Amino acid sequence: METMMIVNIVISLTLLLGGAVMTAQGKKQINPVVGYRTKRSMASNEAWMLSNRKCGIMWLINGGIGFVLTALSYLLMFKISDKVSFALQILILLLMTAGAVFSIIKTEKMLKDRENSAAAKKEEMYKNLV
């Protein structure tokens, strides 16, 4: 049971650290080593900064919530059974995992919508010229 709690603490701290790094990368040029690195995010400096800030903030929130929930579950650990405590730790782990996956999906959707909007603007400009 304590092992799952340690795993959740490590994951939440990793999310917090990763979120802080990505948020910091959102103010810099494209980095070939650190940050939210996908084909869409590295398409331009603007996409890089936007995607790193957005995903970084979501990871900070996710890691913070995961850490607080894990700390609260530690306080409850002495009042509930080991099975319930273990199930609670698994639930917290699943929530943090879902949050991380959701942040990636949300960031990629934002980048895709941004690309589509830019393409539509270019097409509209071309139509106006012709």
Cα 80 → chain centroid: 31
**Mean of per-residue pLDDT scores for the chain:** 90
Q: What is the pTM of this model?
A: 0.84
Total of domains in the chain: 1
58 in Cβ contact with 103 (< 8 Å): yes
DSSP 43-54: S-HHHHHHHHHH
How is residue 25 annotated by DSSP? H
Print the domain residue range for 63: 2-129
pLDDT digits (tens, 9 = 90+) for 80-130: 888 888 899 999 999 999 999 999 999 999 999 998 887 777 777 767 776
| Higher-pLDDT residue of 28, 10 | 10
For residue 120, the model assigns a pLDDT of 74
